[in-house]
Amino acid sequence: MVTINSDATIYQALTLMTQNKVGSIVLFEDEKIVGIWTERG
Statement: the pTM of the whole predicted model exceeds 0.85: no
Rama region for 13: left / alpha / beta (φ>0; ψ in -120 to 50; rest): alpha
pLDDT in tens, 12-23: 999 999 999 999
| 24, β-bridge pairs | 38
pLDDT in tens, 1-41: 999 999 999 999 999 999 999 999 999 999 999 999 998 87
**2 alpha carbon, distance to own chain's centre:** 7
Q: Where are the domains of the chain?
A: 3-38
